[in-house]
Structure 1
Amino acid sequence: MAQAKESETKMPTEPVISSESHLDLVSKLPTREGLPLSLVLYKNYWLLPHHADKIMLLQDSFNARPDDTILATNPKCGTTWLKALAFTITNRSRYDFSNHPLLTSHPHEIISFLEVPLGKELTYVEKLPSPRLLATHMPLSLLPKSVANHGCRIVYICREPKDAFVSGWHFGNEIHIGRSTDLDTAFNMFCEGYWPNGPFWDHCLEYWKESIARPDRVLFLKYEEMMADPVNSVKRLATFLGDPFTGDEEEGGVPEEVVRLCSFKMLSELQTNMIGELHRRENVVFKKSAYFRRGKVGDWVNHMSEEMGRKLDYIVEEKFKGSGLLL
């Protein structure tokens, strides 16, 4: 497999936050090439430069509210599904399942990323009514301090690393016009921790440890367990969000209706989710359909060799050793 060239990595000292603009700070961060877009290293995490800029801004200016819920994920770990589920659960008294916003709007249009608000200024979150559902790919350690200070709920979903890698590789090659990375090169970089919002395992571990220390504040979900038993996962999520299903709702099959509406099959068959773009930026086009590739558990075997699988399993096992986290 191709190794990243030493010349592609620049490792200056990370600057201290000062009165300089965030863009100036980002321009001075360690950078590395190799994926369709270069990444910068900020506080031990590899980020897209424009994300790093927004994260710095949020750290300085975001005002959390005590009743905020943060939906946090590593990229390509069930983010779209989690957004749909959380929105449907918390708004089930407002919308009928037969005339629901998810039938006409993409989940990412309903709940934008905190650091990447689609077509909006970052200040849009200040205008949202409480309680707010906010999504992010930020590692726990990069969240604005006001999130911890106010004790906001955090729901985190983690996915088997091999499947997350394959999904991310496909996604990156699909959205970048005229740019792509071969599987071997991308895999080697993923194993080194060089990946958007990576290292992947550090991202998972931060939220895992916080969920152990503060289970009332952080709910740690596993994609594979949710896929295996979606109804019970939806009930667990509703309880954590402070809006558990009533006995009448359970008898009436409401949890099952939530699962059906938010299922990959349902959402991927809606024209609104498969045609058009969420947004574009220079040579990067975020097609709506790119968020509904397969969603299959174990799909990595169709793309990676057994040797690659064993290598990544070993790395993850070593990284998670002693934490109690198994993926």
Structure 2
Amino acid sequence: MCRLLIQLVMVLMLACPLTAAATEEYARQTGRECAACHLDPAGGGELTRAGKEFAATRADAAAKPALSAAAKGFRFAVGYLHLITAFLWFGTILYVHLVLKPAYASSGLPRGELRVGIISMVVMGITGIILTRFRVGSPELLLQSRFGILLLAKIALYLVMVISATFVITVIGPRLRRKEPDSFPLIVEGDMSAEELALCDGKEGRPALFAHQGTIYDASASRFWKQGSHMGRHQAGGDLTEALSQAPHNADLLAALPAVGRLVAGVKRPAPLHERVFFFMAYMNLAIVFLIVLILALWRWW
């Protein structure tokens, strides 16, 4: 199925004749601003009469056929899918950082966000290759124009995100899900520190405890907290005060769970190396999102 999809994409790409892409190189040749050929002063999009005449001379000189209606429709559909996927992917990253905070995934990567990320990376890669094929007529354009240089920077940032995500999924993720029984004893009742509470994550027979506004609750017997996970989004073993404030229900439902103690200050330990790497990559990807948006702004308005 995957091979058939790839072959179909290649056939569609080969079946769509390409035209020479207008860039700032053409503006240098004529000595005019982008507004001389484009209705949009920033360049790109619909051409003015002078722009159409110049494009006709370029097409005659290059002896390349015009883009067919089917090819334009295909390019539009691919570009639309590319943008929608970018919104979903970047929106998920922003939601995790600004609303849920990366700490909520520090005990294991949520399946929902993980699925969105993997699908988004694949779709962004395929659609990006197709759109680059339409826009870039020759490899020289990548190094001889501002558009090409920015495109290379965008591709490099995308590859960094893909490589870091692959590393987190294959190496960091399994270690986040695996709690190491260190020197802290496993207790199930009474006041606990955050380090002691982290051991009660509901996995491998351990109790499922979590804190809310300083009180520790035992959700081990609740059918809504199987394996220490609530609705696939909240994980036992931590302070869920902020996370549960975003839940569709109010805190009154916690009254059905037994309160077993209070969350108290304990000895602050440095986070394990894999957790520090996870937080570093999480915030690095957030910075990359803003850099890619900056590149899009430079393309459009600079």
TM bucket (normalised to shorter chain) is under 0.3
Bigger share in helix? 2
Query: Per residue, is there more strand in 1 or in 2?
Result: 1
TM-score between the two structures when normalised by the length of structure 1: 0.20
> Which structure: larger Rg?
2
Higher relative contact order (CA 8 A, sep 6+): 1
